[in-house]
Structure 1
Amino acid sequence: MLIENRNYLRLQQRSLIKEIDEVEINRDKIVVENARKGMPTLVIKNQSRTKYLHSKYDPYSEAERIVKSVNLKRETKHVILFGVGLGYHIIELLKKYPTITMSIYEPDRELLATFLKNFSLESIEKGTLSCILPINSSLSNELAILQQRYGNNIEVFPLPTYEDLFKKELEELYKSLITTLKNQKGNFVANVTFQKRWTINAVKNFPAVLNTPNIFKDINTNHFKDKPAIIVAAGPSLNKEFDNLKKIKEQGLAYIFSVGSAINALIENNIYPDAACTYDPSEHNQVVFEKLKDKQINDIPIIFGSTVGYETIENYPGDMVHMITSQDTVSAALLENSKEIDRVNDAPSIAVVTYQLLEKLGFTQVYLVGQNLAFLDSKMYAEGIEYGKDIDENNSENLLTVQDVEGNKIVTNEGYDSMRRQLEQSIASTPNVQVYNTTVGGAKIEGTSFILLSNVIDKHFSNHVVAPNWYKGTSNYNIDHVNKMLLKYKREQENLEKLLYELEIILEKLHSKINSNEKAKLENNLNKFDRVFKKMKNNNYYISFISPMIRVQTETLAEKSKNIKYDIDSSTKISQINQHFGKYIREVINHLEFTKPFYEDLIKSVRITQDHA
């Protein structure tokens, strides 16, 4: 590797240095030789086949011709170079499109090592190269970062010789980009749908969090270490497994955790799981537990996410245990040493959240039951779930075909397919857990082994492993600390109100001077606005209670402010600030007023909790 490249990677991508240093280039396979015009060219020799990645006559002229034929879209901000060879086209592309940024994705490690031995990354203008994308499982994470930064304004530019040589890898890159984009759209939809509910649920649920044991810190996790667990989902294949699950429950052969609507199918068949898990922030989530509440079943403990729809846990008749979720900014603000408290990441499916939970608790064998993630005989849900609907498989809109556990084709939809991909990612990141899929007719889930549940009972289970009353524990949060933080955030709430009033006054002044020639005063007011706006953004109440509820609005403002920043016309700039920042400030004011009664109720509830302690 060139010294300047090593220095660059040491600052930008240190982990890649070791990876490249470990690559041994096969000199019989990858050869750098001189082209007819004297500059180096690159050859791949594979058995009887020889393939030049660049012209064997004049690589420079070839690169010029290749780039000349490239027409990026006007809105393109970032280009992923698929295959770089010796990098001739990189310089030509930047000559033609000097404002774009780029990433390098070289699908062959030996070719990447060869590139770094011959091409100086310092020849690319500073700030232009975002990264060299990894050839491993973290590729999707890096693509997600790029799409967060550049949105849909990304294009892939494959070096023509690579399109044939690495056809499969190129297809995989396109698939990964599409998947990442779908996940981002899913995140955007989730933000739009739940951004207010996450915070209000966290506030409303906080007294229950204080009064119930935390699954990670107040429960003896030795009960679960190296034990088997079953995640029971509500897919139609669950209908085949009630007898098997009843046997497992009666003999305590494994811990049974129901997820989502599966609780109703299990209750209907007189099977009480060891716990019901729930995290859905929607108001509708309470419907899942109506049957259990109506029957006053008090011997099924519930493990609830701290941002679950608050209606779900109101008047719950059984024991409750909680887990802090990644969307909970309230607990993070109010609990002592909150950064040290383990939490689960939000996901599109309670099965994914529960899988995270089980892995963190120390379970090493996890069995999936009723996890269809597809339709079975046009059914979405198991029997006993009254709000489940059949689907019309002949209406192909939003439907797609995937492989089932036995290699057959089955029908699913985008929602289920997204859940499957998320579950696969979670499984891939936890090699310490052996995951078995027992769902007959369900979608194939990468990283799992298919086995019938009856065979699991015969071959995998033998002893009673479920500890009695494992869910009993005592919450030991520091209530005095919580009260101190509540008072601190009350003061921050009052300060935020003052800052918002000040911002409105400055905006009025700017608006009144929009056509003024007093540039010094205008500049002074603009600078003052920037300072006060930054104070608002740094206000703790804004950060923990308001900002999470207006994520989409914040992203929109960030996009708009990029253009405002570089506007040199004062009147246009002030007009844009009034329009976009004014609208955002009104959003903050509205949400501040909206949260006030909830916050007052929270203070009272915590005082009651302390009085009863």
Structure 2
Amino acid sequence: MDIITENSKDNKPIIKIKTPQREIYLSSRYHPLQEAEKISNNISIKTPYFLIIGLGNPYLIFSISKKNTEKEIIVIEPSEEIFNTILSNNYLSKMVSSHNIKLKIIKTEEELKNLLSSISYFEYYINPQYKTIFTFISTWEEIIKKTIQNLEINRNTLKRFGNVWAKNLILSLNYITLTKGIKEFYDVFKNINAIVIGAGPSLDNNLEELRELYNSFLIISVDTSWGYLSSQGIKPDIVITVDPQLKNFIYNLTSKDYKTTLFVCDTLYPPLIYKHIPISNILNFDSPLKVWQTIKEIYNLEKGTIEVGGSVVCSAIDLAYKLGANKVLLVGVDLGYPNQKIYSKNNYYELNNFVNSNIFLPYDPYNILSKYPIVEKISNNGSKILTDPRMITFKNWIENYITTTNISIINLSPNGLQINNTQHIPINALPKKNIRDEIEKIKSSIIEKTNPHTNINITKDIVETIKKVIDEYNKKGIFESTTIIENNILAKNLFEIALQDILLDDYNEDQFLKELSNRIRYFEKVLKYL
């Protein structure tokens, strides 16, 4: 294709793409500035970042950046030729030289995914002409949409659990210095196939087969299926949990035999786990939250990463991959509601729904399902399955993970939601080879390995800072206490996490100060548990 610079009817430089079939203007050929103003007037940016695909219309980029000076405008250009043509034109290059505009040449899906992973929260706009010129732009848009879906899940989780994470961190810090990190054991189960067990309804139908397969696979259970499996005599090798709430863990404490089970949780998990599970059996992974990233850097406490995709099943898949599993098999991962069932038997959430039911609001799966916009999709056996947007987001995460890692995933739930690029094999058709002794030997070596960290009293550092904030607040008021918070990076990060429910919404100064006061009083109560 040829890239040509010519003047519009009102004498402004514009870009034209010429192909053997047609000519395409990347902006209005008559009044590009007026067109840009009209389009930008209909764009309301609510996020800190705004992504624009296509540098070819600098007038629109200029107009958007001028109206949103506090936002960071990230412009992605897939064509180096278009990029150089615009920057070599003095007039057009000035259009994109504002302080809040960042220009990027992105040519591959991998480069796009890397960029998106570095942006916390964003909206986007695609120059419509680019969809005509570059056929891959539609694929890029799907990647962008999936990323936004995942970010929205993470955002809602932050808003819901900010206070809980802050409390967990304060009360768990001294234990975390004693635990081992998951990064020390990457590839330790190399070439051993793993079964990831979720808590979907199909788990009820696979218990007998799981008993037969137990000696042939590394068994990784999510926390919500752990109690049920234990009650059925199936003891997971590894239990992974990401839920920061206490109630699910307390329910699972019915199982008392923890000696040969490994427990994987993030560094902001409830402190109760450290009082009931042997420290030698706990493997931490780094919380992605800023407060932990700060602590990790200051105290050299890196634990290793596990992906968090909204569902604990996503984390379990990544765990299996990083531990070296050759293939990952999914059991009880339905991502929907086969036969209108929600969970497997004896699941915490199922029992919780029963407990909270009453004569006026009886337990009925349809009451639960009605909370979400239900849609019909195709299952692994070709029949229809009910699911919802949350489950579809988890499905998209798994599909994207397969594409990124080339991991081999076999879905053993016949009635579960169809996941692209996974194999479906009947569970009773899997080959069996007894490697149980090898698995137990590896687990024993992990449990027996000593922790490389010393017992650093991080809690003392943070507690002293929080006490200063509380004292200053009680003596002089909110404004003086904010000075201490601003001048201490740990305190600042900690309060940011606790205030996520307000920071992620529109707020004014009065609302912020009120909520900050509430969090100071909250931390005052938390310190009494130490």
TM-score calculated relative to the size of structure 1: 0.68
Deviations 1:371-401 (A, max 9, x none): 1111212122234547537744995952134
Measured in 2, the distance between the counterparts of 1:545 and 1:81 equals: 33
Shift of 1:301: 4.4
Match of 2:393 in 1: 418
Task: Output aligned runs, 1:588-607, within 5 Å.
Answer: 588-598=519-529, 601=530
Measured in 2, the distance between the counterparts of 1:478 and 1:144 equals: 30
Measured in 2, the distance between the counterparts of 1:404 and 1:156 equals: 34
- Name the SS for the 1:457 alignment partner: coil
Measured in 1, the distance between the counterparts of 2:102 and 2:521 equals: 38
Measured in 2, the distance between the counterparts of 1:125 and 1:213 equals: 48
Match of 1:73 in 2: 42
Match of 1:226 in 2: 191
Question: Which of the residues 311, 332, 340 maps onto 1:370?
Answer: 332
- Contact 1:299-1:318 within 8 A present in 2 as well: no
Measured in 2, the distance between the counterparts of 1:332 and 1:127 equals: 28
- Contact 1:79-1:103 within 8 A present in 2 as well: yes
Measured in 2, the distance between the counterparts of 1:288 and 1:534 equals: 42
- Contact 2:286-2:306 within 8 A present in 1 as well: yes
Measured in 1, the distance between the counterparts of 2:14 and 2:499 equals: 54
The residue identity in structure 1 corresponding to 2:211 is: K
Measured in 2, the distance between the counterparts of 1:544 and 1:69 equals: 40
- Contact 1:297-1:318 within 8 A present in 2 as well: no
Deviates more, 1:234-243 or 1:336-345: 336-345
- Contact 1:489-1:540 within 8 A present in 2 as well: no
Q: Structure 1 307/489 Cα, relative in aligned 2: closer, same or farther at 3 Å?
A: closer
Question: Which of the residues 238, 252, 258 maps onto 1:289?
Answer: 252
Question: Which of the residues 185, 195, 218 maps onto 1:255?
Answer: 218
Shift of 1:504: 2.1
- Name the SS for the 2:335 alignment partner: coil
- Contact 1:54-1:62 within 8 A present in 2 as well: no
- Name the SS for the 2:235 alignment partner: coil
Measured in 1, the distance between the counterparts of 2:381 and 2:84 equals: 41
The residue identity in structure 2 corresponding to 1:104 is: V
Match of 1:467 in 2: 440
- Name the SS for the 2:194 alignment partner: strand
Percent identity of the aligned residues? Answer: 17
- Contact 1:133-1:139 within 8 A present in 2 as well: no
Match of 2:109 in 1: 136
Measured in 2, the distance between the counterparts of 1:317 and 1:146 equals: 38
Shift of 1:285: 0.8
Deviations 1:197-223 (A, max 9, x none): 223233444565466554444xx6664
Deviations 1:223-245 (A, max 9, x none): 41232222111222334433332
Measured in 2, the distance between the counterparts of 1:344 and 1:95 equals: 40
- Name the SS for the 2:439 alignment partner: coil
- Contact 2:170-2:459 within 8 A present in 1 as well: no
Q: Structure 1 427/590 Cα, relative in aligned 2: closer, same or farther at 3 Å?
A: farther
Match of 2:343 in 1: 381
Measured in 2, the distance between the counterparts of 1:306 and 1:353 equals: 14
Match of 2:62 in 1: 94
Structure 2, unmatched stretches of 5+, are: 354-363
Task: Output aligned runs, 1:117-266, within 5 Å.
Answer: 121-132=93-104, 134=106, 135-137=108-110, 139=112, 142=115, 148=121, 154=123, 156=125, 158-159=127-128, 161-162=129-130, 169=137, 173=141, 178-206=145-173, 209=176, 213-217=180-184, 223-249=188-214, 252-266=215-229
Deviates more, 1:406-415 or 1:113-122: 113-122
Q: Does 1:351 align with 2:313?
A: yes
Measured in 2, the distance between the counterparts of 1:117 and 1:347 equals: 42
Measured in 2, the distance between the counterparts of 1:92 and 1:348 equals: 35
- Contact 1:64-1:92 within 8 A present in 2 as well: yes
Shift of 1:440: 1.9
- Name the SS for the 1:368 alignment partner: strand
Question: Which of the residues 476, 481, 504 maps onto 2:477?
Answer: 504
- Contact 2:130-2:137 within 8 A present in 1 as well: no
Aligned length: 504
Shift of 1:430: 3.0
Deviates more, 1:415-424 or 1:486-495: 486-495
Measured in 2, the distance between the counterparts of 1:200 and 1:68 equals: 48
The alignment's C-alpha RMSD in Å is 4.3
- Contact 2:182-2:285 within 8 A present in 1 as well: no
Measured in 1, the distance between the counterparts of 2:113 and 2:59 equals: 27
More relative contact order in 1 or in 2 (CA 8 Å, sep 6+)? 2
Question: Which of the residues 550, 555, 573 maps onto 2:499?
Answer: 550
Shift of 1:256: 0.7
The residue identity in structure 2 corresponding to 1:98 is: K
Measured in 2, the distance between the counterparts of 1:64 and 1:335 equals: 47
Question: Which of the residues 408, 413, 417 maps onto 1:434?
Answer: 408
Measured in 2, the distance between the counterparts of 1:185 and 1:216 equals: 28
TM-score calculated relative to the size of structure 2: 0.77
Q: Structure 1 265/496 Cα, relative in aligned 2: closer, same or farther at 3 Å?
A: closer
- Contact 2:330-2:412 within 8 A present in 1 as well: yes
Q: Structure 1 491/208 Cα, relative in aligned 2: closer, same or farther at 3 Å?
A: closer
Shift of 1:334: 8.9
Match of 1:341 in 2: 303
Question: Which of the residues 418, 429, 445 maps onto 1:444?
Answer: 418
- Name the SS for the 2:41 alignment partner: coil
Match of 2:361 in 1: none
Measured in 2, the distance between the counterparts of 1:335 and 1:50 equals: 55
Match of 1:3 in 2: none
Match of 1:495 in 2: 468
Q: Does 1:61 align with 2:61?
A: no
Measured in 1, the distance between the counterparts of 2:394 and 2:418 equals: 12
Measured in 2, the distance between the counterparts of 1:343 and 1:41 equals: 45
Measured in 1, the distance between the counterparts of 2:398 and 2:292 equals: 27
- Contact 1:259-1:351 within 8 A present in 2 as well: yes
Measured in 1, the distance between the counterparts of 2:16 and 2:304 equals: 51
